[in-house]
Amino acid sequence: MNSRLQAVRGMNDLLPEAIGDWQRVEAVARGIFADHGYAEIRMPLVERSELFARSIGAATDIVEKEMYAFQDRSGDMLALRPEGTAGCVRAALQHGLLHNQQPRFWYQGPMFRYERPQKGRYRQFQQIGAECFGIPDADIDAELILLTARLWRELGLSGVTLEINTLGTPDDRQVYREQLVAYFGGHRGLLDEDSKRRLEQNPLRILDSKAPEMQALIDEAPRLLDSLGGASRAHFDRLCAILDRAAVSYEINTRLVRGLDYYTHTVFEWVGEHLGAQNALCGGGRYDGLVEQLGGKPLPATGFSIGVERLVDSLRAVGVSAASATPDCFVVSVAAPAGEALVAAEELRDAGLAVICNCDAAGFKSQLRRADRSGARVAVILGEQESATGQVGIKPLRGDGEQQTVARADLVATVKQLSKG
Ligand code: HAM
C-alpha cells in the first residue's frame, strides 16, 4: 500500500506563504503585552483531565464532548488542553506566583477541541490569551478590553464589535436560575430537545441557543441584569462607565453566557463581521471562584483569549496582509572552490544582511532564476574565473542597474549599498 498520509481532520498545516500574517499578529501582540506589564507564561499542552472538569465544568460541551482525553501508559487520565485559563491557574498556584501579588500573564499556543470542523472552527487552533490575578475591580476587566481594542487598532482590523454582559455572583445566578427554570418550565412544550436537557443541567445555556424556533421565547425570558445584587450591579456599571469614558463602543448582550462554567460578573466577546457562523474572535471574562476551586485561597481573576485563525482571517478580509520576508541577497556559485560561497554568505550576514546561499551544483542560469524568485535585490556571483582573480560578480536583480565585478574585499560594502539602496 502506498497511500499518502494526510493531516488529522480539523488540524491544519500553516504554510510558509501564510506565516507572515501570523508572525505579524504575534509580534504586535507581544509588544502590546510588554507595554502593559504582562509577563509571558508557557504551560504544557497536556494536563490531567480532572483540571478541566473542575474548572471549565464537567457538564460543559467542551469537557463532555470535545476533549481529547486519554489514559497514558501509567494509567493517568490526561487531556490535550482545550483552553489556557485552567492550566495558567494551575501553574500559578503550583509555583506560588499568586501570594501577595497581582500578576498579569499572557500566553499563546495550540488548543484542542473535538468539534465539527468548519470555516473558523478547528480541532487544533491557536489562542493568544491573558490572565490577571488578585484584582477585584472592574478596572482590570476594562484594561483587558482596552488592550484588545488597541491590538485591533495596531493590526489595522476593522469591523469588530464588542459585546458585554454580567453573570453576577454564584448567588445572583442561583436566584436567576430559579427564575429561568420557572419561565422555561412554564413553556416546556415550546422547547427544543437541547433546551429541555439544558433546563435540568444548566438553564442559563438555553439563552445561548441558536435554534430559530427558540428565539421569541428567549427574547421574552427574564434577564439576569434585572435581578443582580447591588455589588454585582456596581461592578458592571463601573465597567460600562470606564468603557464610555474611554470611548470604546459596546453592546450589552444579556444572552451572552459563554460556554465555560467558571465565569462570574463580567463576560465579553469581540465579534467579527467578516467571520460568518464562527464569528467570535475573542472571548473572556472574570472568574473570581476558580483559583479557590482549584485549591488556592480565594482570589479574583479575569482574562481573555483570542482565536488566532479567526483574527488572521479577519485581517485578510479587510485587506491587511503582512509583506512576506525577502532576503537582501542570494549567493550564486558555479565551480567556485569548496566553502567559498558559504564563507562569503557568512561575511554578508555578519554585516547584518539577510542572505540565501545556493548550496548545490545547479547551472548558472538556474541559480540566477532561484535568485530572482527569492525576491533578493542582489545576486552575488562566485565563479571559477572570479575566484581565480580574487573578484566577485554583483548583479542587481530589481530595477535596471548593471552587473559589475568588484574586488573580493569590496564585496560586503558593495552589496550593502545596493541591497539597502
Ligand atoms: P473561548 O470562548 O472558548 O474562551 O475561546 C476563545 C476564542 O478561541 C474564541 O473566541 C475563538 O476565537 C477561539 N476558538 C475557540 N474554539 C475554537 C475552535 N474550535 N476553532 C478555532 N477557534 C476557536 C476560552 O478559551 C477562555 N479560556 C477565554 C478566557 C481566558 N476567559 C478568561 N480567560
Convert the pLDDT of each residue in 391-414 to its tens digit: 999 999 998 889 999 999 999 999
In the structure, what pLDDT confidence band is assigned to residue 197 with cuts at 50, 70 and 90?
Answer: confident
In the structure, what pLDDT confidence band is assigned to residue 277 with cuts at 50, 70 and 90?
Answer: confident
* Separation CA 258–CA 268 (nearest Å): 8
DSSP state of 398: S
Q: What is the pLDDT of residue 208?
A: 84
What is the identity of the amino acid at 366?
S
Question: Which whole number is the average pLDDT over 40-57?
Answer: 97
Contacts of 19 (CB under 8 A, 6+ apart): none
Give the residue whose CA is nearest to atom 33 of ligand 1.
303
Using one digit for the tens of pLDDT, what is the confidence trace for 301-343?
999 999 999 999 999 999 998 888 899 999 999 999 999 999 9
In the reported structure, the alpha carbon of residue 257 is separated from the centroid of ligand 1 by a whole-number distance in angstroms of 13
Domain boundaries, the chain: 16-169+229-317, 329-419
Overall CATH class of domain 16-169+229-317: alpha beta
Give the residue whose CA is nearest to atom 11 of ligand 1.
307
Give the residue whose CA is nearest to atom 25 of ligand 1.
83
Backbone angles phi, psi at 55, to 5 degrees: -115, -65
Question: Which whole number is the average pLDDT over 153-162?
Answer: 97
Residue 71 has pLDDT above 80, yes or no: yes
Residue 105 has pLDDT above 80, yes or no: yes
Lowest mean pLDDT among 151-155, 282-286, 334-338, 371-375: 334-338
Residue 1 has pLDDT above 60, yes or no: no
Q: What is the pLDDT of residue 210?
A: 84
Cα–Cα distances (Å) from 352 to 24, 110, 174, 349, 393, in that order, read: 21, 33, 63, 5, 20
Ligand 1 pocket check for 87: Cβ under 6 Å: no
In the reported structure, the alpha carbon of residue 169 is separated from the centroid of ligand 1 by a whole-number distance in angstroms of 22
CA 11 vs. chain centroid, Å, equals: 15
Ligand 1 pocket check for 85: Cβ under 6 Å: yes
Cell triple for residue 155?
493590526
In the structure, what pLDDT confidence band is assigned to residue 140 with cuts at 50, 70 and 90?
Answer: very high
- Per the DSSP assignment, residues forming a β-bridge with 285 are 267, 303
In the structure, what pLDDT confidence band is assigned to residue 421 with cuts at 50, 70 and 90?
Answer: low
In the reported structure, the alpha carbon of residue 122 is separated from the centroid of ligand 1 by a whole-number distance in angstroms of 11
> DSSP 3-state assignment of 332?
strand
Q: Which residue among 111, 127, 266 is best mutated to probe the pocket of ligand 1, counting the most ligand atoms within 8 A of its Cβ?
A: 127
Ligand 1 pocket check for 57: Cβ under 6 Å: no
Ligand 1 pocket check for 340: Cβ under 6 Å: no
Overall CATH class of domain 329-419: alpha beta
Contacts of 304 (CB under 8 A, 6+ apart): 129, 130, 144, 148, 268, 282, 283, 284, 285
Q: What is the pLDDT of residue 325?
A: 83
Q: Cell 462607565 maps to which residue?
A: 241
What rounded mean pLDDT belongs to the chain?
95
Ligand 1 pocket check for 272: Cβ under 6 Å: no
Residue 6 has pLDDT above 80, yes or no: yes
Q: What is the pLDDT of residue 74?
A: 97
* Separation CA 22–CA 14 (nearest Å): 9
Question: Which whole number is the average pLDDT over 217-241?
Answer: 95
Lowest mean pLDDT among 2-6, 106-110, 174-178, 182-186: 2-6
Question: Which whole number is the average pLDDT over 236-261?
Answer: 96
Q: What is the pLDDT of residue 307?
A: 98
Using one digit for the tens of pLDDT, what is the confidence trace for 35-46?
999 999 999 999
In sequence order, what E strands does 77-159 have? 77-80, 104-112, 124-133
How many Cα atoms within 13 Å fall on the side-chain side of residue 12? 16
Residue 194 has pLDDT above 60, yes or no: yes
In the structure, what pLDDT confidence band is assigned to residue 282 with cuts at 50, 70 and 90?
Answer: very high
Q: Which residue among 61, 68, 125, 287 is best mutated to probe the pocket of ligand 1, counting the most ligand atoms within 8 A of its Cβ?
A: 125
> Is the Cβ–Cβ distance between 406 and 394 less than 8 Å?
yes
| DSSP letter string, 246-307 | TT---EE-TT---S-TT-EEEEEEEEETTSTTS-EEEEEEE-TTHHHHTTS----EEEEEEE
Lowest mean pLDDT among 36-50, 131-145, 188-202, 249-263: 188-202
